[in-house]
Amino acid sequence: MTRAALLVLADGRFPAGGHAHSGGAEPAVRAGRITDTASLADFCRGRLHTAGLVAAALAAATAAGHDPLALDDAADARTPMPALRSTARKLGRQMMRAARATWPSPELAALAAARPRGAHQPVVLGLAARSADLTPLDAAYAAAYESVSGPATAAVRLLSLDPFDATAVLAHLATDLDRVASAATQAADRIPAEGYDTLPAASAPLLDITAEAHAAGPVRLFAS
């Protein structure tokens, strides 16, 4: 295993399509819920412990070798809004393209064939980590970090925040990231004994509702 692969997977320049998505930050800015660095920190912390935790657990479970099709179904069950399911699969398709070009494997090819419209992004991310010989914990960290780095980057563009301040928000979430990645990996470890229902299903109703409104909006800077 080379841990350098984790740096590639988590790099914002990895061509997985995340730059076009705000992770719910754009509708939050429009609604006045993100206005400055402090409110961005609150938003990112909330997203990390809900959507981020779910994504991290799905990624860890896939990286651990559990059935990616069953995990894709579990992701669907944990994504109630059509707009978010569509976004997750679009990002999954782009992640699949990048992963197969970078770390080609029979497992990635099999998932791409089984889900031609795209599997959920955290599942593909986890399988990419597995193909890169990374650990389930590595996959959990990558998914958890992605859940907050996207909104932070988007807020810089949407509000002209100081990039140094936005980066400080991410740095101050380090302890939370550790906890979420650890909890996600522990949930994945329980699958053999407890089944897929052991994976977290933390909800963020406001993110769900605003995602649908954002998808129907006529003018958007970000796809989601």
* Stronger pLDDT, 7 or 73, i.e. the higher one: 73
For residue 133, being part of any structural domain is answered with: yes
User: Beta-carbon neighbour count of residue 130 at 10 Å?
Assistant: 24
Q: How many residues does the chain have?
A: 224
For residue 117, being part of any structural domain is answered with: yes
d(Cα 216, Cα 166) in Å, to the nearest integer?
28
Q: Quick one: pLDDT band at residue 186, thresholds 50, 70, 90?
A: very high
For residue 14, being part of any structural domain is answered with: no
Q: Residue 123 sits in a domain of what CATH number?
A: 1.10.4190.10
When pLDDT is averaged across residues 186-212 and rounded to a whole number, the result is 92
For residue 199, being part of any structural domain is answered with: yes
d(Cα 23, Cα 19) in Å, to the nearest integer?
10
- Helix or strand or coil: residue 2? coil
For residue 146, being part of any structural domain is answered with: yes
d(Cα 153, Cα 95) in Å, to the nearest integer?
19
Q: What percentage of the chain carries pLDDT values higher than 90?
A: 76
For residue 2, being part of any structural domain is answered with: no
pLDDT tens for each residue of 79-111: 988 989 999 999 999 999 999 999 999 999 999
Q: Quick one: pLDDT band at residue 1, thresholds 50, 70, 90?
A: low
Nearest to 93 by CA among 116, 59, 62, 70: 116
Q: Quick one: pLDDT band at residue 19, thresholds 50, 70, 90?
A: confident
**Contact by Cβ (8 Å): 199, 187:** yes
Number of domains in the chain: 1
Residue 64 structural domain: 19-216
Q: Quick one: pLDDT band at residue 69, thresholds 50, 70, 90?
A: very high
Q: Quick one: pLDDT band at residue 191, thresholds 50, 70, 90?
A: very high
> For position 2, what pLDDT does the model report?
65
For residue 8, being part of any structural domain is answered with: no
For residue 149, being part of any structural domain is answered with: yes
Torsion of CA 54, 181, 7, 2, to 10 degrees: -120
d(Cα 137, Cα 149) in Å, to the nearest integer?
18
